[in-house]
């Protein structure tokens, strides 16, 4: 009984209670214990556009609903081998296992389109849509997750400077 309870508590500690995504600590642990030597993979850092404005204008309950909606859309679209992590407040990281940049970008565009179609929110009478900006990177065997995230973050800010609701990546 004790060991079962410990496994459950450990699993729950690795999942964000609002979005159902992995926590940052869980992502780092998973990454440290995974061998990526033979696979082509991509990482993407995502930031929901103008999220602070959503919280300020529509309230934190609506903000929470937006985060949950985004997470559900992503989890419904990605494969079981891919990983979704709530990296920070409105920032998420997706790790696309065995996927090239073109495939990952196509999925990100689909996700942004699906999210933008959601305009009705249960905690406000106002209709609005949400988008995200993202920085996409081919991992190419890089083993340092901090390096990957730093490069994704630089690309993310490039996407925001270029107008938001887009994917920025290094040329293939």
- What distances in angstroms separate CA 164 from CA 9, 66, 147, 157, one per listed residue? 38, 17, 23, 9
100, 95, 166: which is closest to 134 by C-alpha? 166
Active site residue 142: no
Strand 91-96 to 42-48 pairing: antiparallel
34-54: b (≥16 Cβ within 10 Å) or e: eebeeebbbbbbbbbbebeeb
| Catalytic member of 65, 90, 110, 154 | 90
- Where in the sequence numbering do the catalytic residues fall? 90
């Amino acid at each position: 009984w004790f060991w079962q309870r410990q496994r459950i508590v450990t699993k729950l500690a690795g999942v964000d209670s609002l979005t159902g995504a992995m926590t940052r600590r869980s992502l780092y642990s998973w990454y440290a214990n995974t061998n990526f030597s033979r696979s082509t993979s991509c990482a993407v850092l995502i930031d929901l556009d103008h999220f602070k404005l959503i919280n300020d204008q529509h309230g934190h309950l609506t903000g929470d609903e937006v985060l949950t909606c985004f997470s559900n859309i992503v989890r419904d679209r990605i494969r079981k081998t891919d990983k979704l992590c709530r990296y920070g407040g409105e920032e998420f990281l997706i790790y696309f296992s065995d996927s090239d940049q073109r495939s990952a970008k196509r999925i990100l565009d689909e996700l942004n389109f699906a999210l933008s179609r959601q305009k009705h929110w249960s905690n406000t009478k106002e209709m609005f849509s949400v988008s995200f900006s993202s920085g996409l990177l081919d991992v190419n065997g890089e083993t340092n997750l901090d390096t990957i995230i730093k490069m994704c973050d630089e690309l993310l800010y490039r996407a925001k400077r270029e107008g938001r609701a887009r994917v920025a990546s290094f040329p293939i």
